[in-house]
Structure formats: C-alpha cells, structure tokens
Chains A and B, each alone.
Chain A
Amino acid sequence: MNLARLPRLRPTTALGGLVFVLFAMWYAASSQNNAAAYLLFFTLSSLFIVSIPHALLNIASLKATTESVKPTFAGDEVSLPVEVTNQSGKPRYGVRVQVPDSGGDEQAVDEIAAGRAARVLIRFPARARGEYEVKRLCLASAFPLGVLRATKRINCHQRFLVYPKPEGDPRLPPDRARSAYNRPRTELGEGDDFAGVRAYELGQSQRQIDWKAVARGHPLMTKQYTTEATGALYLDFAAVPGDDTETRLAQLALWIIEAERARRSYGLRLRGTEIAPSLGQVHFHRCLRALALFK
C-alpha cells in the first residue's frame, strides 16, 4: 500500500461523542469490576479501530475526472460535471464530492459499484468574469461509522469561463455602423423572410430542410431566409457610456444578448480586438468570451 497516497482522516464531532461514551464505559466497568461492561467497552473500541481501515479504503481507490464546463455569467452557478470512478473490486459508499474553496455544496454519491463510475454535477457560484481553473477536487466520506471523515484531494486542470454579468440599458445603441455600408444588404441567415431553396450541405440545421419537398421525392434542400436588412450593429467598447470598465463590459454583454435575441447582426470592437458582425451561437460565445477575457 502506498502510504503517501492514503487519504487523510479527520475526526468529526461525532468522534467526541464516541470518546465520551467509551470513557463512560471504561469508567463504569472498572469501578464496578463488571466484566460484561468491559466486554462492551472492548467491542465498541474494537469497532472503532476496525472502522479506520474501512474509512481509508472507502476513498483510497476512487478516481475523479472532470468534464468540460459550460461558460456561465457572473452571478450564476457554474456546473462542473465530475465522474468518480471506483477502481477497486469492492463497492464504495457514501462518497461526497466537493470543489474546495468554491463556496459550493457537496454532492453525494450513495454507492459506486466495483469498477463502475458515477457522475455528479457540482454547482458553485460564479463570482466575477474571467477564466478560471478548477485545480482540485475533494472526495470525502464518513462511511462506515461517521466518526472519522476520510478526505482525498485530486488534482485536475479544468478551465472554465465566466462571462460578465449582463446589466445596464436593454435598448440597443443607435445604428451608427450603417454609414460604413452604403446600401442595406440582404443577409442570408436565420431571418424570417423566405428567399428560396438551396442544396443541403452537411452540418446545416435540419429545421430548415424542406421536408415537404423530400416527401414528394426531391433531394434534400434547405429553405433560405433573409433578415430585414437593417445593416450590422457595431458594439464598441469606446462608445459605451460610463467610466468603469466592468460596468461597460456588463452593458456590452447585455447588448450582445439583446441583439442575438432580436436577430440583428452585431459586431464587437474592443481595445485591440475586433469581431466582424455576424449572428448565431458560435459568434455569440466568441463575443462574450472576448468580454470575459478583456483586460
């Protein structure tokens, strides 16, 4: 057994109670010379001693790996999926998983069968925008008697992003970008007006496939829509009112959300970064990521 890899044991408050009961048993047995009470005292102390290796081994052969975390907005909760694998040949019980110093709850797994894994979702609050890394996970268990808590720290490198908290004026800024383009453009995309059909390409949304045409025996075609060509909206950090960087970033985040919701093409201009106007989930996250990492 590798001693360095052994989990740590910490007493719980219940251990105080147990020690008190043990002392009471010993005192009563010795003052009365009561062999039956002695037997009870030895049974309880032996039970406690035997529970030590059980508590250690319950945690020792567990492995935990993290999976990728979806970005969240500051003030929301981060959900970290963790897979706890039992690498031993015996089932393990009552395991609790926690991200230390994250301010989040423990998640309990009641049983992990031999050689199997269990998945838990650890939630903890996302404080401020930026990129973070979960460096350590903490596995703990008070099984079997609850008087000792075995804890084991597992290193991991799970990065995740926290976007700025969207706050400010929900009205989109006036469309000053239009001057850059002389004529209104028609943009194909996820608009409302039907513009015709085109041959289906792999990766396109299935929702836009012309299923009725497929039913009539035609090849797969996608319907094309256009958005009302109001021109691209440039969200410029420099143009956001206010002095505080965080407030301005919050305002930008809100506008990005509003623009995406209104299906208006938007671009982002930060110090040293420019993202060309577009629409869609990929673009949306690219913009918010830029905000999150802004220095």
Chain B
Amino acid sequence: MITKRDTRIPRRPLLWLAAALLFVLPPMFDGLAVWVPMLLLSAIATKFWMEPRGYRLRFLPLKLALVVAAVVAIFISYGAIKGIEPGVSLIIVLMSLKIFEAHTVREFHFMVMLGWVLCLCGFFLAQDLAIAVCIMIAFTLLTTALVQFYRGLAAGRIWPPLRGALTLLAQAVPLIVLLFLLFPRVTTGFRLLLTPNLTSAYGFSDRLSPGSVETLASSRSVAFRVEFPDGNVPRAAALYWRGLVMTQGEGMEWRSRDTQPAMSHPSQELRGGNTVRQWITIEPHGEHWMFALDRPVTASPGAILTPGNYLWSWQPIMKPRRYEVRSSLEMARQGLQPRERERLLEVPASISPRVRELAQSWRAADPGPRAIVGRALDFFQTQRFRYSLSPGEYKRNDLEEFLFRRRIGFCEHYAASFATLMRLAGVPARVVVGYLGGEFNEMGHFYLVRQSDTHAWCEVWLPDTGWTRVDPTNVVAPERVNLGLESFLERSAGAGEMSPGFTRTFARQPFFAKIRVTWQTLNYAWDSRVLGFDAEAQQALTNEIGLPDLRPVSLLFLSAIIAAGFVVILATWMQMLARAHPDPVQSLYARFCAKAARLGAPRDPTEGPVDFARRAGQFLPQESERIATISDCYVGLRYGREMDSAMLHRFAHEVRLFCSTRN
C-alpha cells in the first residue's frame, strides 16, 4: 500500500540504483551508439540535481515529444528500429526518461525492474566474464537498492543494506546452481530475430588472401581453449589446430571451395588407442568451422567431419560452445580419386612462366613427390626468405614478385606460394588454415589459443603416406613454430624489428603473470562451464546422474519441488538462527517467580524485585532469608556493573534450592 507520505523516493535507495545503473553501462558502451549510454549517465547525474529541488518532468506533451525524438534518434543512429542494438537503445532511452519523471514508490520499483531488464540486455550485447562480473555487480546493487528502500532509515549507510542483499544472494546460490543444472532448457518455437552482430568477433574467413592473417596476428582475443582430459598433451611443435581446408588456389590467394560441404564422410582409418581426446571451448566467430588438433577423427554433436578432415558445425557459431573431439596425430593414409586428383592440381592460368619454370625444374630433376617437396623446402631455406609480420602489400598474382624479388612474407604467403608451386610441379596440394601453439595455463590445465596464433600451412598428397603436413614457415622461421608467435616477435625485437613496449614488459612481472593466469582460468571456467552449458550438456548430465525421466515437464516439476524444499529448509534454518538466546539471569529469575507463584505469591508485572522479595518474604516467612539472597543476587547481576560468575553460580544454586527444601 502506498501512503501519502511516500511521494518522494528517499535518497539512499536512489544512490544504490544509480550505482547499479553505472555497472550496467560497460556492455552498452561496447555495442551501442555512444549517445545512448551517455544519455543514461547524464539522466542519473541530473536526477541528483533535480531531486532535492523537487523538480521532475511533468508536462505530458513534452514527455511524448522526447519519446518521439528518441525513437527518431535511434533510427538515425542504426538505420533500423528492429534488431538487438536499437531495441536495447530504446529500453535505455525510456529508462533515462523514466528517471527524469520518477518520484513515487511505484516508479522506484519500475526503475529497479527496468534495471534488471538492462542486465538482460547487457548479456545480449556481450557475454564474456568481465561483462558478466559487471552485470552481476549491477544485479547485486539493484537488490541492495530494494533492501535499502524497505529498511528505511534503519541504522547503517553502506554495509548493512549491502550485507542484506549479499545474504539473500548467498542463500540463493545453491538454488541457482540446481536450477541452472536442472531447469528444462527448451528452445521456444518462435525465434526472436535478434542476431548479435559479430563485428567485434575475430576469426579468419573462408578466403586466404595476402594480408588476411596479418590483421589477426595482432589481436589478443581468445579463439578457443582446450583441455586434454586424458593428460596426453602433444609437444608444442605438434599443436597444429586444424580449422579450414582450402582447395581452390589462385596464386597468392586461396579459397575454400564450398560454402557448405557435401554430407559425405571422409575416408578415415581410426587407429585405436592412438587418438588424443580434447575438450574445446570455442569463442563465437560467426562461421561454421570448428577447431581440433590436426587431424580430427570423430565428429562432435551438431557437426560433421568434412572430406577435408575438418569439423563443420551445422549452425554458425554465435555463442561459446564446448565440445569433445578426438584427433589422431599420425596421418591416416587415404586414397585419392583420379577426378579429385585433377581438381587438386588446378592452377590459375595467370601464373607467370618464371614460376612455372621453377616448379618444372624440380620435377625434371626428380619426379618423385617427396623429392619435389624436399627441393621446394630447400628453395625456401636457401634463397634467403625472411619471415615478417609486415611484409608489405602483395596482390593476388604477385607470386613471382614474392618468390624472386621481395622474398619476405608471413605464414600465409609461404603456405599459399608453396601449395601453388606443388601443384605446378604435379603434387596435389591444399592449404590448411588454423592455429599453431597456444599458451598453457598451469592453474586451469588448459591451452589458451588466441587469434594471434593463427597459422596457415600446406598439405601435400604423397602416394605412400597420403595427405602429409608440410609447413614451409618451419624452414623459413623455425622459431615461429617452436616458440609461438609472441616469443618469436620478442626475439626479433632485439634485432630492432619491433619494440616490445613498456606495458608488455610490465605485464611479464611474475605477480601480474599470476593474476593473468587466474583471470584466464576464471574466464575459461565461465566460458566452458556456464556459457557452454546447453540442452545437450544438460542431457549428458541428467543421463550421468541417472534421472529416469528427462522430459521438460518432469524437469520443470523437479525444479519446482527443489525450490519448495529449499524454501522450507531455509526457513527452518533461519528460524533456528533467529531464536533469541535468553539471558540466564532473566530465565533463572523467571523460574524463581514461577515457583513463588506456585506457592501462592505471584509477582505482579509492575512490581519491582525488591518489593516482591519483601512481600514474598512476609508470605513465606521460613524462606524469607533465601528469598532475600535470591533477590540481592538478581539485582546485583542484572543492574550491577559487570557479570560476576561466582554470584551467578550462587544465584542458580539458591533458585534451585528455593522450592525443594520446602517440600
């Protein structure tokens, strides 16, 4: 019920609400037009100026005009009114206007509810751990605002209401976990057309052109994380993570042939016992391919193993996903159809005669494919090729320029040119794009693979071994393969190629390294355990526990029972905690009074202990001495300055004797 005196929102809850809204903002600044979160910020600031003066937005036409203006501004900013960013912007703008207007209890509640909706919006814009921490802080502060509001002016400014909210949330944790694991994850039939745009997400495309990997090499964002549950971790130089296979070569540029591969199982021989099991948590990149250690031999749920031996997800990867995959480190020998072989030897007509000549010369010397590969690698090793992140610009047909003049390039240049040369020399070849290496996190025992670990290499088909991995970068810059890109760049920095920068040196301090490792571990746990927990993971879990019935209805029923049981347990526990511990002096005196009442001398509630002792002494003359002692002890213990344990002991003793001697 809202009484008349509640027509103004007290200042303290408003402060908590404002603090909560500040923590909702970070994901907004990331994904929305800048003016939207700025509007919210300025609304909060203005509110604190308006509130003590009693100003608020009252004039209805002005409110309507502001709403219309906001909708127009959103349309101008995004060019649309549908979709996730405009929708979230609209909610934020309405929230800002509401802040100007709000002044009653009901509106305070409305703002808290809107705050919760903003938390939800935040998770639509971004889901990484840093954002989640911000949103959870915002959630806690919103709860604190409510608790503070209903505490009124009870003592304590900051800690007591915050403790109230934290207590509620802490008690909710077991229930949150149980619901998270068991609440049915149904997919509602009608899908909201809210596709978060992944402009901020990185990853390579299905086209390998000069310079495409370069842009990724400077990105520190996470591509995926890998755990080896069986503990057999391959050595660092073997950590080739297979992503996408490109079979269509155009000189320096390579492409994947199909946008969606045909549903055919690749020829594979699963060598028992020699496979490496991995749990991979992939970050969203908006494309279909999934990564696995070279080469995957099993398909994961929701994905197939394509003819090129890479994983292809049916759905584009829009959210973190965790999957299990097995890979074989030894290459399985595969056959090659003549028709396929022809396709894998196709080269563009635009290749210059000088390049063709080079490839022909290798073939002429020894037509064996192995010999050709060896010669080609020799060529890269002896002709003073250099490895660099900034090799300058190459065009699609600049193969000759690269091979004979500039001779400086990045892994993509080497892979593309090597594969093209192999085809010219008559060896079927293809380019594989993926990642190489990764950073081992000792705390969480997982490998963290970043976008900067992107790598491209070649595979050639040899009659005796089938598809064989050849990494031309390895002969040009072996440190890149053995140490990882970062260490490689650091070494080169000594040669003046690139300065490591102050911050990077600073970040190398052991203390910061430890923080970094902890943060990475938490991030991994968040991505793999929380974000990666979907309907399939839930099914796996319920199967493991051995729940008999897995229909959504029964899971919902189970969740309801759990929630009800939880309420009863919590209420009983809280009741026990809140039970008052009576003062021993008081309870002993109450016992004495009860005994006296039984003997016919009840104490009047308004009667003081001394008066009562006098009256009871007159009524029970043979006990008068004991009654006086009891009364003296009581007065001494209750009103005396400090607790005297000897006196308390005597008091208890006398009270015990009081009735028994009489009987």
Contact = CB atoms under 8 A, between A and B. Distances in A.
Contacts of A94: 150-152, 154
A111 B162 CA distance: 16
A34 B319 contact: yes
B194 A46 contact: no
Interface of B: 1, 3-4, 106, 109-110, 113, 116-117, 119-120, 123-124, 127, 132, 135-136, 139, 143, 146-147, 149-155, 164, 168-169, 171-173, 175-176, 179-180, 183, 185-188, 190-192, 194, 319, 530-535, 563, 566-567, 570-572, 574-575, 577-581
A143 B160 CA distance: 14
B168 A49 contact: no
A204 interface: no
Contact of B150 (A18, A27, A89, A144): A144
Contacts of A13: 106, 109
Interface centre among B109, B187, B192, B530 (most CB of A within 10 A): B109
Contacts of A24: 117, 120
A111 B154 contact: yes
A53 B567 contact: yes
A142 B150 contact: yes
A91 B163 CA distance: 13
Closest 9 CB pairs of A and B: A111-B154, A110-B152, A53-B571, A46-B172, A46-B175, A36-B123, A88-B578, A143-B150, A42-B179
Nearest to A25: B120
B580 A49 contact: no
A292 B11 CA distance: 47
Contact of B124 (A37, A42, A105, A141): A37
A110 to B, nearest CB: 3
A108 B591 CA distance: 36
A51 B168 CA distance: 7
A106 B149 contact: no
Contact of B119 (A35, A40, A141): A40
Given A18-B113, A36-B123, A31 B579 contact: no
A44 B574 contact: no
Interface centre among A33, A43, A52 (most CB of B within 10 A): A43
6 contacts: A25-B116, A37-B123, A43-B139, A46-B175, A94-B151, A115-B580
A140 to B, nearest CB: 8
A50 B578 contact: no
Contacts of B580: 87-89, 114-115
A46 B173 CA distance: 8
Contacts, number: 179
Contacts of A93: 150-152, 154
A32 interface: yes
A61 interface: yes
A111 B567 CA distance: 25
Given A28-B120, A40-B120, A42-B180, 13 more contacts: A14-B109, A18-B113, A36-B127, A37-B120, A43-B169, A53-B571, A54-B574, A93-B151, A94-B150, A108-B152, A111-B153, A143-B150, A144-B147
A181 B4 CA distance: 58
A46 B150 CA distance: 19
A106 B6 CA distance: 12
A39 B152 contact: no
A102 interface: no
Nearest to B121: A28
B116 A44 contact: yes
A36 B539 CA distance: 18
Interface residues of A, number: 59
Contacts of A46: 172-173, 175-176, 179, 563
A14 B563 CA distance: 21
A46 B169 CA distance: 8
A50 B123 contact: no
A34 B127 contact: yes
A156 interface: no
Contact of A34 (B123, B155, B164, B183): B123
B151 A40 contact: no
A35 B194 CA distance: 15
A61 B534 CA distance: 44
A17 B136 CA distance: 20
A106 B155 CA distance: 21
A102 B95 CA distance: 39
Contacts of B123: 34, 36-37, 40
Nearest to B581: A89
A190 B115 CA distance: 69
Contact of B191 (A31, A37, A49, A141): A31
Contact of A50 (B152, B175, B581): B175
A33 B187 contact: yes
B532 A1 contact: no
Interface centre among A27, A35, A141, A145 (most CB of B within 10 A): A35
A20 B579 CA distance: 36
A21 interface: yes
Given A53-B570, A57-B578, A61-B578, A30 B109 contact: no
Given A33-B187, A43-B139, A110 B176 contact: no
